[in-house]
Structure 1
């Protein structure tokens, strides 16, 4: 994908890949979505670290802008999928700022991510909270397959007990 803006004739929204110059805006929106999901305490990336993250080729952050102001983003990590021997895009967040929701921005962001994945036919996958019915409805309208799965997390404080010598 080039860094050229991707636009659709339906709205004055431009979708483009975030660059290190977008560090402040990306960090702000990550904090916003975390607060929206009552997970603000889980965000540990300082703003200045975003600069380096946005330089990494496997980190994909697409920004939606209206009149030059960021109104949302979708983020994903490109990684190896051992079962297929190819890469997948693991969608991390899809976020649209209040006041811009239900205007097609989320759909446009997902379409831009699909445009990025299409040349290599990459699978895009993600999770959503069981009680987030609005998100599930949105993803079904896009044609996504939803299936239940348990997400596990293992923190260093917990798995450290199994590490020899600790």
Structure 2
């Protein structure tokens, strides 16, 4: 499954992205950011995506197509659980264009990712969801996901990241 195109019922096709898809990946990122009211925070460029995804290989992307047109994507990377002693997969982005929502593509993408996690001997499949995004929260719960409400995500970025990096030098 890792190297093969995965064609499913109902005209959907899933395939791993290739370097030629960089502009499409950026387009999807911007569409998702616009939906999340975060478009002003997108700093990614085709060059940074090409370097990160296809040169350094720090993330992977699966493109979803319907009737041979791109309609969604999932961007993910591996993490590691010290408690399990095994890797996991973290989904950074899962996006389906509005005109295809409700047709089963989100279920297909999550199922594919679960299949990939099992194939790669991962203990977990994880992602974050904005707390106001009730349609997605409801969808994820129906798919068997459990909210990790007792955990709080912390982030250090920008100037704070540089300050922290230089604090104990």
Distance 2:71 2:85 in 1: 36
Deviations 1:142-163 (A, max 9, x none): 1111131322212242354553
Verify: 1:2 aligned to 2:2, yes or no.
yes
Distance 1:144 1:48, change over 3 A: same
Q: Which residue of 1 aligns with 2:153?
A: 151
Verify: 1:35 aligned to 2:34, yes or no.
yes
Distance 2:48 2:158 in 1: 21
Which stretch shows the higher mean deviation, 84-93 or 26-35?
84-93
Q: Which residue of 2 aligns with 1:131?
A: 132
Q: Which residue of 1 aligns with 2:85?
A: 85
- Equivalences for residues 74-113 of structure 1 within 5 A: 74-113=74-113
Calculate the TM-score normalised by the size of structure 1: 0.88
1:69 Cα deviation from its structure 2 partner: 1.2
Aligned residues: 165
Unaligned runs of 5+ in 1: none
Unaligned runs of 5+ in 2: none
Contact 1:18–1:61, Cα closer than 8 Å, also in 2:
yes
1:61 Cα deviation from its structure 2 partner: 1.0
Distance 1:24 1:15 in 2: 18
Distance 2:49 2:160 in 1: 27
Q: Which residue of 2 aligns with 1:18?
A: 17
Deviations 1:79-133 (A, max 9, x none): 2333333211111011001211111111111111112111233111111111211
Contact 1:20–1:52, Cα closer than 8 Å, also in 2:
no
Distance 2:52 2:18 in 1: 9
Contact 1:60–1:78, Cα closer than 8 Å, also in 2:
no
Deviations 1:36-68 (A, max 9, x none): 111112211111222233324441211110122
Calculate the TM-score normalised by the size of structure 2: 0.87
What SS does structure 2 have at the residue aligned with 1:4?
Answer: coil
